[in-house]
Amino acid sequence: MSNTGDDYTGCSEGSGGSQTVIGIILGLAGSICINTGNNYQSLGTHNLEVAAIEKLLAEGKEAVLHPEIEPSKSPTWIFGTVVFICGSALNFTSFPFASTSVLAPLEAIQFVSNVIWGKLLFGKVITDKMIIGTFITIFGVVMVLGMGPKEKPEEEKPIRLLDFVYLWRSSLWIGYLVFCLVFGTALFFLYKSMQAKDELAAANHDTRISPVSVEAEALAR
């Protein structure tokens, strides 16, 4: 009888780990679908606005920047809405399989998919800063997956004050906080440095603009 109990416990632990993997897969798929749906909705409304502006110009009317449109008339927008709803359903389905502390950070993967869809659907230029930010996002998600709980707790127990004290005394937790502080500070100063370079480049570009070009632009307006 004792062996049977041990075997059962081992199976439950193994199934807990596999359920976490299922939850992670569902969470990632759901987040990607949500972002994909948003991008296709944006593409659908953009195409409707362009068509509306072209129609106004063809009729000899004054074009407006954001004309009134009906998104439901766009098959692309409808497709995006369906994908968005499916992604939300996948997210809700993932909750019973994995811990929330693991699933919640997975939504950051939307920033990665947003860069990809921005290039594919809208032809946006992917800059070096976007690439760096994408890799940092992926690195953060991988860290969460590696340090998060490997299986979902079977039952929620009341959290005591001593539990928090124990966690804050953990060397692993303290090391993680120090890493976040140092890494976040480094990213802040890197951002400020790159921002200063961009402002300097923009200022130099403005000084190279001749008065003739400025006057021509004013007349064109």
Q: Does the structure show a pLDDT above 60 at 178?
A: yes
pTM of the prediction?
A: 0.61
- Burial class, 26, CB count within 10 angstroms (exposed 0-12 / middle 13-18 / buried 19+): buried
Tokens of 209: 């603009």
Q: How far is CA 109 from CA 75, 83, 143, in A?
A: 26, 16, 13
Residues in the chain: 221
What is the distance of C-alpha 22 from the center of its chain?
A: 20
Residue 3 pLDDT grade (very low, low, confident, very high; cuts 50, 70, 90): very low
Average pLDDT score over the chain: 78
Residues 97/19, Cβ–Cβ less than 8 Å: yes
Query: What pLDDT was estimated at residue 152?
Result: 59
Nearest alpha carbon to residue 109 among 100, 97, 117 = 117
Residue 159 pLDDT grade (very low, low, confident, very high; cuts 50, 70, 90): low
DSSP state of 40: H
